[in-house]
Structure 1
Amino acid sequence: MRLNDIRKFILFLGIWALTFFYSEVTHAVSSIDGGESEGFKSYLSDFIQLDVHGGQTALAGRFTEQKLPSTAGFSINVYFGPKKIINHPSYISVGSYSFSVVSNEKDSMYPFPVNNEVLFLSNYLNLLVPIYTHQNFALYFGVGYANITLLSDRDSKWVQNYGSSQYELQTRYNLSDRWSFFYKSKWQQINQYQKGSFSFIEMWSHLLGLGYVIF
């Protein structure tokens, strides 16, 4: 899938999500009548969650022999409905996570200084939908777009940005009305063609963390 196609797909998902959310809120507003105002207030609560997570990223391809660097990050999740009413709603996740490796190979596709630390930063927007739920447990599948930045702290000229589709499989368990525990597995890949040759870096991240409903 080309970068422009990915961007169009993500734009479509975003427009669809906003349209769905707007229609639900409009329906809730139209139903307000006397005592139903409390229900409306309940509808407009408990639909934004903060996730904080850490773990490791398995790397494949060229560039480094450090295949399991430590990974950390966060995300903001916007649910399509309040968790008080819908136990495991679909949601849009916007977040970031990063890890660093030491490059050990001079690659014309990734021209970073050999034996220097390189930071990988992934900023993403994913749509996640539940594919199985049972009481406090849910299994989610997600797809979206990630902007991956590679940079070297020692020399600011070594900065490269890549676009990638991102796929996510997630298990989440609600510990209480606001707290949840989760495991996320994310896949993304950098592809490059230069002078007729192909190079790639494949990243499979495994993340554990806690989520808290902040609004």
Structure 2
Amino acid sequence: MSFILDALKKSESDRQQQTGAEFSDVPSGSGDSRRYKWLWILALLLVVNFAALLVVLVRPGSAPQDPAPVVAPPAGPAASQPAEPAQPSFEEQVAIARETHEARAEVRAETAELRVRDTQAEEAASATPAPATRRIRTIDELRLEGSLQLEDLHLDIHVFSDNRDERFVFINMAKHREGSRLDEGPVVSEITPDGVILDYQGMTFLLPRE
């Protein structure tokens, strides 16, 4: 900028000097005008160069750029999260469905087989005849046949229980348990819900409860 000012001052001084002498020296006027012209051109070039220099110095591209922000890596717990399991393909889904269907079919078949076996076992059990219960004749039936000669026996008290030790009877007002012998001769073989089974002279008969 100081160069431009010095050039302008010098141009103004030369112009004043030439103005004072223009009437004394007329023939030199054309040379002075050329000199002024070049001085103005020089000053204009200097101004243009200075303006260009300012533009280069202050343009936005030359300004220092801010450093790019640094992206912090994700925290450890977030990075360690397990990835979601991949969905099975169509073929895998078909294979799984087929295996499930086959497994269910096997379970149904086994269940049906068990039911058939249970039914057969029940039918076999129902078809098997129950063992025939030996009918024991009563004391009165043997007397009518004439095969038993025995004094009259009367069952006064009859107590039956699932526990054999708690069973007892009173026959002709005498208390007896299983295995005991009556004064009349018979032996108490068993006390049943129906009465007393007695053994006498190789015969077994029932003294029923009243």
Interval containing the TM-score (normalised by the shorter chain): under 0.3
Bigger helix fraction: 2
* Relative contact order higher in (CA < 8 Å, ≥ 6 apart): 1
Largest Rg, 1 or 2: 2
Bigger strand fraction: 1
Return the TM-score normalized by structure 1.
Answer: 0.24
Return the TM-score normalized by structure 2.
Answer: 0.24
